[in-house]
Amino acid sequence: MSAIALPESTVPTTAGWRQRLRYLLRAYPPLVLLCALWMLATVAIALLAGHLAPYAHNQIDLQARLAPPYFMGGSAQHWLGTDELGRDILSRLMLSIRISLLVALVSTLLSATLGVFLGFLAAHFRGWVEQLVLTLVDFQAAMPFMIIALAVLAFFGNTLTLFIALMGLYGWERSTRITRGLCIAANEQGYAAAAFDIGASPLRVYLLHVLPNIASTLIVGVTLTFPEVILLESGLSFLGLGVQPPMTSLGNMVGYGREYLQTAPWMLLTPSAVIVLTSFSVGMLGDWLRDRLDPSLR
């Protein structure tokens, strides 16, 4: 009997896989791939924290307080150890990732929306409107945002909604400057002028014609603001003015862990490592997007 020949396309070849791997590494550097995998993992943990956490984030077990992680000789019941009240750090870390990413994402979107709106406003009306917007931009850039945040939170109290809205006021001046400059350049080009000449409304021109052409630069700006908001939220929570108990965040965990740095360093080092890796990953992905989306850097 003669052997049945398989179609060439169904025969697995190592050369084909190697070629695909080389193409993948050329298109996406290994460090960028690792950062993308880390961000995908953090997003998945944030979405599924309620199902993945082995314990409730506020479940107290005083008999297991300050238990070390499993890799430091601790019990397998608490892979990352416990805190001063016996709460499972892994469970609290998962919820903290969800809260910190929620605050950073919503705040960054609010900041970008406000910045783009004011940038369009300044580029369209010019004159005293433009001067007013630029004055606000200079005032925002001159004032340390941490001082403004401390004053607002100390005066009005702290709720999660107010905290997210306050974080949404961070970094909008950067988006305003970028949007204004790109919008003025777009108005001098043919497609925006042609849209105005045929009777299109300013809202339609800016949203449907100008915004898609400047979106790549704005996306890069958003990736720069996102890790800064994470670090700012962590700093405010570290000072006790951020996310309030019974909720928890990465900065909140670092703030509680600083008192046990010598006796239980895992309480502080674990959320600190997540903050560093997340901020680094977003920044690295932002640099890669800038190189890919900006034609002048190719």
Number of domains observed in the structure of the chain: 1
Question: How confident is residue 230, by pLDDT bands cut at 50, 70 and 90?
Answer: confident
Q: How far is CA 124 from CA 193, 217, 236, in A?
A: 12, 19, 37
Tell me which amino acid residue 133 is.
Answer: V
Confidence of residue 6 (pLDDT cuts 50, 70, 90): very low
Beta-carbon contacts of residue 106 (< 8 Å; ≥ 6 apart): 164, 168
6 domain residue, yes or no: no
pLDDT surpasses 70 at 149: yes
Is the pLDDT at 147 greater than 90? The verdict is: no
Please check whether residue 24 lies inside any domain of the structure.
Answer: no
Query: What is the CA 123 to chain-centroid distance, rounded?
Result: 28
Distance CA 243, CA 186 (A): 41
How far is CA 223 from each of CA 7, 125, 150, 279, 288, rounded to the nearest angstrom? 46, 29, 25, 10, 10
Owning domain of residue 49: 29-297
Please indicate, yes or no, if residue 157 is contained in any of the structural domains.
yes
Lowest-pLDDT range, 5-9, 63-67, 108-112, 279-283?
5-9
Q: By C-alpha distance, which of 293, 286, 267 is closest to 228? A: 286
- Number of helices (H) and strands (E), helices first, in the chain? 13, 0
Residue 46: closest CA among 278, 289, 282? 278
Q: What is the mean pLDDT of residues 258-284?
A: 89
**Cα–Cα dist 180/172, whole Å:** 12
How far out from the chain centre does Cα 17 lie? Answer: 34
Question: Is residue 84 a contact partner of residue 66, using CB atoms and an 8 Å limit?
Answer: yes
Determine whether 83 is exposed, middle or buried from the number of CB atoms within 10 Å of its CB (0-12, 13-18, 19+).
buried
Domain annotation covers residue 22: no
Asked whether residue 243 is assigned to any structural domain, the reply reads yes
Rounded CA-CA distance 119/142 in Å is 18
Tally of CA atoms within 13 A in the half-sphere of 49 that contains its CB: 22
The kind and range of the H/E element at 162 are: helix 160-167
Q: What is the pLDDT of residues 63-74, one digit of tens each?
A: 888 888 888 887
Model-wide pTM > 0.85: no
Q: Which of 57-61, 116-120, 239-243, 259-263 has the highest mean pLDDT?
A: 116-120
The CB density around residue 157, as the number of other CB atoms within 10 Å, is 9
The token pair at 53 is 């956490």
Confidence of residue 194 (pLDDT cuts 50, 70, 90): confident
- Give the CATH number, domain containing residue 268: 1.10.3720.10
Maximum distance among all Cα pairs of the chain, rounded to whole angstroms = 90
C-alpha closest to that of 54 among 78, 83, 84: 78
On whether residue 21 sits in a domain, the answer given is no
Q: Is residue 9 part of a domain?
A: no
Is 10 inside a domain boundary?
no
Omega before residue 246 within 30° of 0, cis: yes
What is residue 88's three-state secondary structure? strand
Tokens standing for residue 147: 């001082």
